[in-house]
A and B are shown apart, each in its own frame.
Chain A
């Protein structure tokens, strides 16, 4: 049937389409609790067929000013992910270098480990590296806004 032929061709073409495949893997990993328990991520909306909008969560590392806090993040994987890094922003207010203090947007280049983005990087890494970033000397003593505040955007 024509549909078959056509689908076959589309399949063939879609072979070189890594984005969905990757995001599906990440979706599964997020649900299974990858990332040693200090970060979590998942699709923001289960019906999001484009797998673009994600929730992330970082548990503030101990022995830092972020200890005891749970940070929520919004992560958008655009059409060029994973060739291009995702857009990340904090929902909960945080005082952290590289994070815009008025809207929580993360400048991913300011996180050393992510500044040279590779397509093998993924959402988990983004979250984990942000967490590591919190532990760095330049960050781990910054005074923080009261818990529970969120950016207004």
Chain B
């Protein structure tokens, strides 16, 4: 068999292959023309750069040394060895003290913090699954998810390896936007300029993301941060302020998180922070990416900024601004969703509407929805990243068109109250399930349902899931799914008030006015009639006349 060896090669901090090849040629005593470098199925050509191929820390580049004699006897003709690059190049780690520096030198110094926050975000997701629905507090749930994730690093790496995640992360503008869109975040940033600095530093964010991909690094980094944190404790002012800020929000989470993360606080603001920006012991006050709502991801720790100081605490987990990237769980796509953690999480959620209610009533939800509504661009961006949309451009279009309406509805307190009504939610779920069963049982039926796109139900890839053998989201299924979604949305909109007339009232405002002008002064009755007739004034009038004797 071929000669197999594994080498760990420190990468010089150059972007192109030339130096790399020089080093290799020296090391293996072969000429550069004999060297063929392969990464992920591609040959690296001279003039390519490592970062261009996405070669990062911990990944493997294959080396083939060609000899002049082909197919000679013996295996020595081509030695195949794997070189693990500890790349210190720009796209990867850099020493925590100088996060913005692009000259990485070695990979051993873990990049600045950000990552732990991201991780904790995912951790929450996983932890929730393992949760025994014990805590009604959504934030606690997040913490628990986090714990589970921490014990299951594979899941994290899976998530991080998701090209969708990477794609999103590679767009620092989007990240920043998402974060900025959150008013609490903005407050936080005012109070702590380092945060904004950090956000504006794409390098930093990228480093954090890189780190998030590597759980092993995470541990090391956390330890480093620990050390840094202890140094920071002496810094007056800023540190305390931040701590206070964080601890407020994290009150409920503290006890939950303490046991796990007691000794391993995440330093919040990433490398830059060194100076007093470290929330240090504070736990992750970032609500952490909400796996269910893309908008949530831009919702990091809002609550923090608004709260007033109270007791400090310990065992921080993630620093608040810890998750400036606000990783959008929505964009994690199937990779994450398929984990057993998510599955049980979902089951639990659907079985316990109370949980949903708690989650929804979390104050930051409201503000998040508001900020989202104010910035439809952001919302659409975020939602577009949802992989379930990815394969369905039609859906995307529809969604985009409906987005403003959708957001408006979200603002409707009635709508929100429905969301928090566990029975309503359950009913909604039942309906949706029923529709899906119907779809699989009688696919021909679906097209006869309403047409027109509906935003909101990104089940594009998922509905045919009843039949695992078949590929999900084939083109044929999509229209049916869209119709399903539309139905859902209509039902939702119609039932949005659960009997309340607020939405219809708005909708029928002009009709109401007309009825009023005609002399129908009983607004209630008018509204009822309009609802019953779906806004048809004439029919409503007939109803009104019919119901009123003489």
Sorted from nearest, which 5 A-B pairs have the closest CB atoms?
Answer: A42-B40, A33-B60, A13-B462, A55-B41, A20-B334
Q: Are B2 and A59 in contact (CB under 8 A)?
A: yes
Which residue on A lies nearest to B459, using beta carbons? A10
- Stretch among A65-73, A99-107, A110-118 lining the B interface: A65-73
A138: interface (CB < 8 Å): no
Q: Are B462 and A17 in contact (CB under 8 A)?
A: yes
Q: Are B391 and A50 in contact (CB under 8 A)?
A: yes
Contacts A2-B410, A3-B383 known; 9 new A-B pairs at CB < 8 A: A7-B293, A8-B292, A9-B459, A13-B436, A24-B163, A31-B54, A37-B62, A37-B80, A73-B41
CA distance A126 to B140 in the complex (A): 45
B58-74 at interface with A (beta carbon < 8 Å): 58-62, 64, 66-67, 69-74
Task: Quote the shortest CB–CB distance from B418 to chain A (angstroms).
Answer: 9
Q: Are B67 and A10 in contact (CB under 8 A)?
A: no
A26-53 at interface with B (beta carbon < 8 Å): 27-28, 30-33, 36-38, 40-44, 46-51
Binding site for B on A (CB under 8 A): 1-21, 24-25, 27-28, 30-33, 36-38, 40-44, 46-51, 54-57, 59-70, 72-73, 78-80, 83, 147
CA distance A110 to B356 in the complex (A): 53
CA distance A96 to B332 in the complex (A): 41
Q: Are B58 and A17 in contact (CB under 8 A)?
A: no
Q: Which residues of A contact B391 (CB under 8 A)?
A: 49-50
Partner of A42, one of B41, B74, B350: B41
**Known contacts being A1-B365, A13-B465, is A37 close to B409, with CB within 8 Å?**
no
- Stretch among B22-30, B177-185, B199-207, B335-343 lining the A interface: B335-343
Q: Are A70 and B342 in contact (CB under 8 A)?
A: no
Partner of A20, one of B166, B338, B416: B338
B75-115 at interface with A (beta carbon < 8 Å): 75, 77-78, 80-82, 84
CA distance A25 to B159 in the complex (A): 10
Task: Quote the shortest CB–CB distance from A91 to chain B (angstroms).
Answer: 11
Interface size for B (C-beta < 8 A) is 101
Q: Are B335 and A21 in contact (CB under 8 A)?
A: yes
B415: interface (CB < 8 Å): yes
B388: interface (CB < 8 Å): yes
Q: Which residues of A contact B350 (CB under 8 A)?
A: 8, 12
Task: Quote the shortest CB–CB distance from A14 to chain B (angstroms).
Answer: 4
**Known contacts being A1-B365, A40-B41, is A11 close to B292, with CB within 8 Å?**
yes
B141: interface (CB < 8 Å): no
Q: Which residues of B contact A10 (CB under 8 A)?
A: 388, 457-462
Q: Which residues of A contact B276 (CB under 8 A)?
A: none
B394: interface (CB < 8 Å): no
CA distance A14 to B485 in the complex (A): 16
CA distance A43 to B485 in the complex (A): 33
CA distance A73 to B41 in the complex (A): 8
